[in-house]
């Protein structure tokens, strides 16, 4: 019975979220239901929490925690598209679903957008062709070759999805090695590439250089400068938020890190639940779903 009530509550919350997004899109001149794209175009920064578990309760907690989007990790996790589809269906927002796909294949890209992702994050971009493939399969004709298949995208984003999808789906290209840096200007200049991500730890892994090393910083600066010169958004880890100029799109911590931080704060007496004075315990069952 409790599970049924929880499912019902999530259903009505999802409907409320969708209605709010639809209203926001109607009020916007760009007609965006992708609030991440709208915020970036308005000059705002966006931060996404990273999710790599199939636990729907954790996913919904992350979706309602205040992040602008969720970085759903399918490259380095055992998550399946069936699991991710269920997660997005239960809690489609307020955080917008972005998926880091395993690779820029037709199957991966098509499945990601069909289950409702409004952002496709392409890992290990070191050829122009890789990003071109992602664009081709993420976009409907005449811009691409995305087929008119089944999926839950219409349920999540409305009947007008087919007509507005190409304007709302975002492509994020990750530059993780020196080969990608060499062609970053070509990648950033591609139509429909929205964001170029400077992968901090991967760049260290591929080069053996640490942040702060002049050679490392030269590579990262080249990514930033080429991206901004092309009029696109430059991205990086949330640790770079407000510490490096030009960055507006950030990957936030994973759910495991946030749970660990929250537990340490709780065990250390770092304050109670929001809205309650220190020393007052919440009523059981009153926590956010």
Q: Among all residues, which ones are annotated catalytic?
A: 76
Q: Which of 173, 171, 190, 176 is nearest to 219 (CA)?
A: 176
Q: Is 91 helix (H, G, I), strand (E, B) or coil?
A: coil
The β-bridge partners of 237 are 251
Cβ(88)–Cβ(117) below 8 Å: yes
Residue 93 parent element (H or E)? none
Cβ(99)–Cβ(129) below 8 Å: no
What is the distance between the alpha carbons of residues 52 and 59, in angstroms, rounded to a whole number?
9
Own/partner pairs, 258-261, CB within 8 angstroms, 24+ separation: 258/49, 258/62, 258/65
What is the distance between the alpha carbons of residues 283 and 11, in angstroms, rounded to a whole number?
23
């Amino acid at each position: 019975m409790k599970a049924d009530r929880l499912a019902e509550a999530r259903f009505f919350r999802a409907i409320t979220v969708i209605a709010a997004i639809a209203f926001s899109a109607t009020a916007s001149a760009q007609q965006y239901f992708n609030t991440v794209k709208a915020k970036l175009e308005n000059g705002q920064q966006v931060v996404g929490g990273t999710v790599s578990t199939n636990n729907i309760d954790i996913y919904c907690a992350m979706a309602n925690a205040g992040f602008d989007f969720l970085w759903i990790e399918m490259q380095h996790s055992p998550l399946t598209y069936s699991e991710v589809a269920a997660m997005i269906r239960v809690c489609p927002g307020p955080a917008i679903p972005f998926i880091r796909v395993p690779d820029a294949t037709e199957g991966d890209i098509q499945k990601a957008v069909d289950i409702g992702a409004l952002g496709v994050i392409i890992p290990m971009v070191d050829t122009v062709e890789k990003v071109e493939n992602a664009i081709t399969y993420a976009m409907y004709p005449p811009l691409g070759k995305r087929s008119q298949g089944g999926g839950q995208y219409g349920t999540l984003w409305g009947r007008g999805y087919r007509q507005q999808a190409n304007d709302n789906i975002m492509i994020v290209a990750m530059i993780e090695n020196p080969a990608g840096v060499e062609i970053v200007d070509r990648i950033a200049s591609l139509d429909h590439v929205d964001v170029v991500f400077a992968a901090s730890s991967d760049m260290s892994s591929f080069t053996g250089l640490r942040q702060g090393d002049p050679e490392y910083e030269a590579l990262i600066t080249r990514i930033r400068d080429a991206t901004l010169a092309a009029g696109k958004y430059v991205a990086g880890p949330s640790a770079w938020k407000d510490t490096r100029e030009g960055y507006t799109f950030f990957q936030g911590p994973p759910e495991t890190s946030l749970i660990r931080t929250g537990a340490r704060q709780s065990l250390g007496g770092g304050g109670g639940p929001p809205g309650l004075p220190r020393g007052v315990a919440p009523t059981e069952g009153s926590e956010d779903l």
